């Protein structure tokens, strides 16, 4: 891949309970279309000869196996909800095979939640078999992973502050219900915008499809992909027919070159 080029891999595009939903018999959950089967939301950005994972939820192990990922250089967390952090234990496979620690990046609140969820990682005397990570606290200002510059985008998930990220010409925002005016300039001129669209009806902590489309129209990216999708949104093939030409539903294992 040429220097500065981005490959975005959608590792998961589903909501916190995934799709299909346990015990649900709706047409989406019973669909045979692989695009209607969604792991919990996560992505991998490949740039500058690095693989940077955004969020590692409970499906992280299967996502890595599905994509045959042999190395990751960092995990960046959007926020502390369990569907975005619960797979952290599985980075230990990379520790074993590559003999290296995995850097993780998140706000102070995210790091505190991770230490609560995985106390055995952070014991004074290392617990045998625990993941080996290096923690990096981030704020709402640009930071670097290797040569890659990453700019946080502060959004609201109901009343919870959450980070999206601008990496080159890519803007990635999930679990948002509001993008403050003062943060919108970070998203302008994106070649690709990833934005959450949970369902058709309004939701307290996520954009609906209509809200996401309105925001995309305002921000004017070249292309947009919708993620963090629930079974309430409808069948992938049917929803796609209703979308503007530059907007697509993301699906698990979709790869986008930027």
In the predicted model, what is the mean pLDDT of residues 204-231?
98
For residue 136, how many other CB atoms are within 10 A of its CB?
14
Residues forming a β-bridge with 248: 225
Domain edges within the chain: 7-257
Q: Per-residue confidence at 125, pLDDT binned at 50, 70, 90?
A: confident
For residue 7, what pLDDT band results from cuts at 50, 70 and 90?
A: very high
Tally: H helices and E strands in the chain: 6, 14
Q: How confident is the model at residue 70 (pLDDT cuts 50, 70, 90)?
A: very high
Over residues 190-200, the mean pLDDT reads: 98
Of 3.40.50.1220, 3.10.450.50, 3.60.15.10, 3.40.50.1970, which CATH number belongs to 7-257?
A: 3.60.15.10
Does 156 have pLDDT greater than 70? yes
**What's residue 1's pLDDT?**
41
Residue 95 has pLDDT above 60, yes or no: yes
d(CA 15, CA 199): 10
- Percent of the chain surpassing pLDDT 70: 98
What local confidence, expressed as pLDDT, does residue 149 receive? 97
Contact in structure between 194 and 173 (CB atoms under 8 Å): yes
Task: Say what the pTM is.
Answer: 0.96
pLDDT bracket for residue 3 (50, 70, 90) = low
Q: Give yes or no for residue 2 having a pLDDT over 50.
A: no
In this structure, are residues 55 and 43 in contact, taking their beta carbons and an 8 Å threshold? yes
pLDDT average, residue stretch 160-188: 98
Question: 124: pLDDT confidence band, cut at 50, 70 and 90?
Answer: confident
Q: Find the mean pLDDT for residues 214-226.
A: 98
| N-to-C CA span, the chain | 11
DSSP code at position 119: G
Burial of residue 182 (CB within 10 Å: 0-12, 13-18, 19+) is exposed
Contact 74, 40 (CB under 8 A): no
Say if CB 41 and CB 83 are below 8 A apart.
Answer: yes
Q: How confident is the model at residue 129 (pLDDT cuts 50, 70, 90)?
A: confident
């Amino acid at each position: 891949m040429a220097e500065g080029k981005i490959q975005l891999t959608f590792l998961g595009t589903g909501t916190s309970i995934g799709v299909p939903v346990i015990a649900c018999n709706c047409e989406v959950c019973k669909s045979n279309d692989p695009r209607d089967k969604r792991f919990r939301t996560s992505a991998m950005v490949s740039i500058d000869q690095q693989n940077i994972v955004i969020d590692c939820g409970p499906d992280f192990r299967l996502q890595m196996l599905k994509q045959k990922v042999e190395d990751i250089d960092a995990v960046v967390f959007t926020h502390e909800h369990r569907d975005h952090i619960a797979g952290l234990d599985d980075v230990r496979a990379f520790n074993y095979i590559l003999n290296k620690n995995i850097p993780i990046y998140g706000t102070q609140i995210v790091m505190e939640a991770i230490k609560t969820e995985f106390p055995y990682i952070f014991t004074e005397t290392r617990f045998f078999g625990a993941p080996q990570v290096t923690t990096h606290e981030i704020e709402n200002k640009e930071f670097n992973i290797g040569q890659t510059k990453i700019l946080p985008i502060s959004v609201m998930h109901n009343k919870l502050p959450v980070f999206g990220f601008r990496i080159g010409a890519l803007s990635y925002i999930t679990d948002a219900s509001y993008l403050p005016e003062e943060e919108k300039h970070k998203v302008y001129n994106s070649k690709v915008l990833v934005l959450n669209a949970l369902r058709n009806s309004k939701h307290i902590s996520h954009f609906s499809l209509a809200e996401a489309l309105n925001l995309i129209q305002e921000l004017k990216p070249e292309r947009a992909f919708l993620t963090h999708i629930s079974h309430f949104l409808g069948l992938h093939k049917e929803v796609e027919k209703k979308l503007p030409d530059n907007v697509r539903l993301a699906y698990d294992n979709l790869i986008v070159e930027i």
